[in-house]
Copies of this chain bind each other. A is one copy, B any other.
Amino acid sequence: MKRIEIRKPDDFHIHLRQGELLKMTVPHCSAYFSRAVVMPNTIPPIDSASTLEEYRRQIVEIDPGFNPLMTFKLLKNMKESDVRALKKAGAIAGKLYPAGATTNSTDGITDWRDIAGLLKVMEEEQLVLSIHGEDPSVYSLDREKAYIPEILEICRKFPGLKVVFEHLSSAEGIQAVAEGPDNLAGTITVHHLLLTLDDVIGGALNPHNFCKPVLKGPEDRKAIQKVVLEGNRKFFFGSDSAPHSAAKKQEGAAGSYSAPVSLALLAEFFDGCGKLPMLEDFVSRFGAEFYGMPLNEERIELAEESWIVPEAYGEVIPFFASKVIRWIVKN
């Protein structure tokens, strides 16, 4: 039986949600990840030092050993002093959601030029800019591609600002980051790495694989897998784990709850490609290096051992529910 021990990973993009869901998501995340970049699209959003501090308090109360990397949501009416206060309160990144692009984003930004002053302050304060890179005004399969020029212009205009193109889903997005400036990197989810749109609409409709950006075609998945397996350090893991209640899923909400399965699935993927030794860089090194953070010292062990993903955690149906994964995390 194969085994591997690696630095405990980081998840550079996660939705921990609120209330009852938080009590489930925090332990599921902290079991596998030392740190996680916590997305700010709560209701109401994390948009001030006080809301950030309160959200962090709630997270750490559930698991005092977990290290949440806090973010805030960029809003049109935000002041530059708010950004500085958020930095002081411990924010490491600000998230730009184009208005209407995804869950809880109706209050997002229509044009990033409207918040250029805030981006300038973020550059000064060494805050990372995290971007949901989709233009929601175009056809869904073209939304990521359509947003690339915006991201490249932001990178040019703010050369000292680190920019993360989140949850890359298209060959064009991958290429833009790979060939883009040094201040641009990208996160990759386990669902975009492993699946295509066929896993949503190819057979029976599967709402549990429905996420934003929507899964793309085989050529896009191939491009994603290629940069990951090459060990390109501009690409690192961010799960975009995004649980919804059964009721929300019933209403068509986008998002897969991958936190409990993503690390095991990544081990299976790397091993299946004969690249198991490269897993550690993707999940435990490249992201920390881009963000400028020390690597984790804690270690975690994985083994080639099959298990069946539960059909549900409470009322949340996880990614890969009821399926077999051939690797397991040994806690």
Contacts and interface: CB of A to CB of B under 8 A. Distances in A.
Interface in A176-217: 196-198, 200-207, 210, 214, 217
A204 B141 contact: no
B141 A217 contact: yes
Interface string A262-304: 0000000000000000000000000000000000000000000
Interface stretch (A70-78, A109-117, A119-127, A251-259): A251-259
> Taking the full assembly, how many copies of this chain does it contain?
2
A204 B253 contact: yes
Given A139-B218, A218-B139, A252 B206 contact: yes
Contacts of A200: 201
A207 B140 CA distance: 16
A197 B252 contact: no
B140 A202 contact: yes
A197 B143 CA distance: 13
A92 B142 CA distance: 42
Contacts of A141: 197, 217
A252 B217 contact: no
Contacts of A203: 252
A196 B139 contact: yes
A251 B205 CA distance: 7
Contact of A252 (B139, B204, B218): B204
A254 B217 contact: no
Contacts of A142: 217
A198 B135 CA distance: 13
B253 A217 contact: no
Contact of A210 (B140, B197, B205, B253): B205
Interface in A39-56: none
Interface of A: 139-142, 196-198, 200-207, 210, 214, 217-218, 251-254
29 contacts: A139-B196, A139-B197, A139-B198, A139-B217, A139-B218, A140-B197, A140-B198, A140-B201, A140-B202, A141-B197, A141-B217, A142-B217, A200-B201, A201-B201, A201-B210, A201-B214, A203-B252, A204-B251, A204-B252, A204-B253, A204-B254, A205-B205, A205-B207, A205-B210, A205-B252, A205-B253, A205-B254, A206-B252, A207-B207
